[in-house]
């Protein structure tokens, strides 16, 4: 991930961060592996010392890898910034790159389009850069013309996964837990005549339970979006238990569109009077929510009058009927 740290005319300072989730998952594993030689009585002192040193070094390297690193990038006035689209695949990362003609420099990298656009707006204000649209957005979505109008909200209620690959990830985790369980049971059957330590049973069983619990939790998480004429409400459902994530009134909403940094939509970008907000939804659900938030008939009428032929027809009528 790359997020904006500071911006001033001529340069941008970004922070590079590694996913902290990787560290959270690997730290217990490193701790368990490092502690195993101290549990077994047959382990030699040299083996215990070597394992402890290697585990400590791996833990320090892991913590250093997730440490934020700052980098300053020159962004000249009037530079071209592009909302990069992934060529193939279901990419859910929102990247902003500096197009220098012969080279491209990655400026921002977020999983949230609202945060990426907020930081992009700061960069544009300071550097007066030009933005090339992407992520399924148009130039009008990025810079709407005129004062914001109220929107017409079509009633809608849907429940969907929070991300396009969520179901596959949950099934993969549960499948991995089942595979480890089958291998463990097979090893037990062939090793009945051999003395088995209790730790050799507890650790695999604990691993199976943790992986299976993660997979079931991933499968059980959903997001519910409710749209009424009064506003929009977003709730996270964990096995049916609802937690409020976002609630916006109709007066706060300006527009909504589905964003797709890859080949499929994975967010709904909400333009509000207080700044951009986003809802993580997969594909068809994101498109359905965006369609339920439409411009008012008055705004649509103005857009129709902007057409050259229609506008000239109305001008002709006014010329013949000045009153």
pLDDT at 190 over 70: no
Residues 231-260: tens digit of each pLDDT: 999 999 988 899 999 999 999 998 899 888
Q: What integer is the mean pLDDT of 86-112?
A: 83
110 contacts 93 by C-beta, under 8 angstroms: yes
What would the pLDDT profile of 6-60 be if each residue is shown by its tens digit? Answer: 888 888 998 887 665 555 666 666 776 777 677 666 667 777 788 788 878 877 7
Would you state the pLDDT for residue 317? 35
* Region 151-162+222-300: CATH code: 2.30.29
Residue with tokens 């960069």: 123
User: How far apart (Å, rounded) are the C-alpha atoms in residues 280 and 285?
Assistant: 10
pTM for this entry: 0.72
What mean pLDDT is reported for the chain? 78
Task: Output the six-digit token pair for 88.
Answer: 């193939």
Q: Where are the domains of the chain?
A: 18-67, 70-143, 151-162+222-300, 166-220
| Pairing mode of beta strands 80-84, 130-132 | parallel
Question: What tens digit of pLDDT does each residue of 55-83 get?
Answer: 788 777 777 766 778 889 998 888 899 99
Please give the distance of CA 178 from its chain centroid, rounded to a whole number: 29
What is the average pLDDT across 208-234?
Answer: 89
The closest of 205, 215, 201 to 172, measured between CA atoms, is 215
Report the distance separating Cα 260 and Cα 136, nearest Å: 5
Q: How far apart are CA 323 and CA 318, in angstroms?
A: 8
Spatial CB neighbours of 101, under 8 Å, sequence gap ≥ 6 = none
**Contact (CB, 8 A) for 227 and 156:** yes
Give residue 173's pLDDT band: very low, low, confident or very high (50, 70, 90).
Answer: confident
């Amino acid at each position: 991930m790359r997020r904006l740290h500071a911006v001033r005319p001529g340069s941008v300072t970004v922070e590079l961060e590694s996913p902290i989730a990787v560290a959270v998952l690997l730290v217990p594993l490193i701790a368990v592996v490092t502690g195993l030689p101290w549990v077994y009585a047959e382990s030699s002192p040299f083996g215990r010392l070597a394992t402890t040193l290697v585990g400590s070094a791996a833990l320090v390297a892991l913590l250093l890898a997730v440490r934020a690193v700052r980098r300053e990038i020159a962004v000249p006035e009037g530079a071209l910034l592009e909302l990069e689209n992934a060529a193939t695949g279901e990419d859910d990362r929102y990247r902003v790159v500096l197009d220098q003609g012969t080279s491209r420099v990655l400026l921002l990298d977020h999983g949230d389009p609202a945060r990426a656009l907020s930081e992009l707006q700061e960069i544009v204000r300071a550097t007066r850069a030009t933005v090339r649209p992407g992520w399924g957005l148009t130039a009008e979505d990025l810079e709407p013309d005129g004062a914001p109008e109220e929107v017409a909200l079509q009633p809608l209620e849907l429940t969907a996964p929070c991300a396009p690959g969520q179901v596959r990830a949950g099934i993969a985790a549960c499948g991995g837990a089942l595979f480890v369980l089958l291998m463990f049971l097979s090893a037990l059957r062939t090793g009945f005549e051999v003395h088995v330590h209790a730790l050799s049973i507890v650790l695999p069983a604990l691993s199976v339970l943790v992986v299976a619990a993660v997979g079931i939790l991933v499968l059980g998480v959903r997001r519910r979006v409710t749209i009424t004429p009064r506003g929009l409400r977003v709730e996270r459902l964990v096995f049916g238990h609802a937690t409020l994530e976002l609630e916006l009134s109709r007066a706060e909403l300006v527009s909504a569109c589905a964003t797709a940094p890859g080949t499929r939509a994975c967010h709904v970008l909400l333009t509000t009077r207080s700044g951009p907000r986003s809802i993580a939804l997969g594909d068809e659900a994101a498109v359905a929510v965006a369609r339920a938030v439409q411009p008012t008939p008055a705004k649509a009428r103005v857009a129709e009058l902007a057409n050259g032929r229609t506008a000239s027809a109305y001008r002709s009528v006014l010329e013949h009927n000045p009153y």
